Amino acid sequence: MSSDAKTEQFDCGIGTDRISNLPGNLIDHILKCLPLRDAVRTSTLSKAWRDKWVMLTCLRFDDDFFIQLLSKMTTKDEETQISEVLRIVSGVLLTLNGPILEFRLFIPDDLPLHKYPAFIHWIRNISKNGVKILKLRNKGSSAYEIPSYFFSCSKLTHLKLESCILNPPLKSGGFCNLIRVKLVNVTITTAMSFGTQLSELYLECCAGIEHLGDHFKYKNNITLLSIWSCGEVEWKWFECTQKVENLCLAFNEEAKQTMDLDKLVDEMPNIHTLQLDGLVLKSLETGAAVMQRPTTMEKLKDISLYDLECDLLQIQNVLCLIRISPKLRYLYVHLNSGNYTNVAPSMELKVLQFLQSTHLIDFIPNQLETVEIDGMVGSVELEFIKLLLASSPSLRCMNLLNPSIDDFEQAFRISRELMRFPRASAAAQIIWLN
């Protein structure tokens, strides 16, 4: 081979370490995408890689990390396992040279790490290191009380806590940059705020949410609000939800107070995604003003309804929501089969009569394209489906999920009856999914 050919080969990069010569920000991104264990192991690749991982700004001690770590241990003794985990995690934190901008920690149910002093030092170290994203999932049997110094993490932008206690001190630096907060099974003991920049708030199975009342005053910036099974909800909060675009609301018991649907609609002019459960629908009062009002939910495109029963008030509110949403494109309805099978014949008759008497001229979802009904299909559901098929000119697909029909003759009869409607035969595709 001539010398020119050899030079050409060399210029093409054959035999060179291209990965090591990548820009620093690209190498950081590669390390960030790797599981933490693999990122640390890159130190054995070469001298050039020996100290690259110590500049990691993202630490993920997630469930995969613990599964791999515990699988390598020969002992099953809990104290020995905890001691080894504490040693490894502490060693990683001590070795890092730069700031830790993202920290994710999973506490397994059989390893109560939060009860040990080393864990307290981890949180303190993270709090002082300018962390921006913090996610703490506690699967242990006891909740972890967040230490007071945590409430001074002024640079925090994203927070997720699971099975924790928030007991803020009377005086703290406060949060001023939080954008997104998700709390799961968290207890809030006293009044607190996540700052004025908050735009996304998720609350699931939490206690003490009344202490977050400051977030529901005028000039708040919340665009996504999800309150799922958190006890009593203060309806007055929804007097200040003009910026909300996504709303998810579910109760764990019937509300003691009711909310006027007409007023609720007025307070959410920008909403485009709505998720409600059956108990919420029961607590909404549908007045004549709503039934006759001009459409106001001009931006609402997706509606998902969960745990519906054969209840007249629920059905009235469902149809009302559809009627006042002219740009609705997707509708999902999940039926509570447990309560649905025990419905009184008189209530079922009332619901059927209401659906049969509904005037189609007042019920025209012009842009509705997809409908999904999850659960048993009986006479009430069939009547509801007929109404949608007959009054939705843009309907393209109707999915019947888990219809709980074992009798093929009954399924065939229902399908044949549905296909009688022009929308079903012309454009709508009816799909049975078990």
Mean pLDDT along residues 8-26: 57
What's this model's pTM, rounded to 2 decimal places? 0.83
Residue with the larger pLDDT of the pair 81 and 52: 81
- Band of pLDDT at residue 157, cut at 50, 70 and 90: very high
pLDDT over threshold 50, residue 37: yes
What is the model's pLDDT at position 10? 41
Least confident of 50-59, 70-79, 187-196: 50-59
Residue with the larger pLDDT of the pair 17 and 69: 69
Share of the chain above pLDDT 90, in %: 22
Tens digits of per-residue pLDDT, 303-350?
Answer: 999 998 888 888 888 988 888 888 999 999 998 765 555 667 777 888
Mean pLDDT along residues 7-18: 50
Main-chain phi, psi angles of 430, to 5 degrees: -95, 120
pLDDT over threshold 80, residue 46: no
List CB contacts of 379: < 8 A, sequence separation 6 or more. Answer: 348, 352
Tens digits of per-residue pLDDT, 253-308?
Answer: 876 777 778 778 888 889 999 999 999 988 887 654 455 555 578 899 999 999 98
**How far apart, in whole angstroms, are the C-alpha atoms of residue 428 and residue 388?**
11
| Local structure of 294: helix, strand or coil | coil
Least confident of 2-11, 130-139, 372-381: 2-11
Main-chain phi, psi angles of 168, to 5 degrees: -65, 145
Closest CA to 242 of 202, 276, 269, 277: 269
Helix residue ranges per DSSP H, 72-148: 78-95, 117-128
- Band of pLDDT at residue 19, cut at 50, 70 and 90: low
- 364: exposed, middle or buried (C-beta count within 10 Å: 0-12, 13-18, 19+)? middle
List CB contacts of 41: < 8 A, sequence separation 6 or more. Answer: none
Token look-up 């959410």 returns 268
Tens digits of per-residue pLDDT, 389-425?
Answer: 878 888 888 888 776 655 555 566 666 666 665 555 4
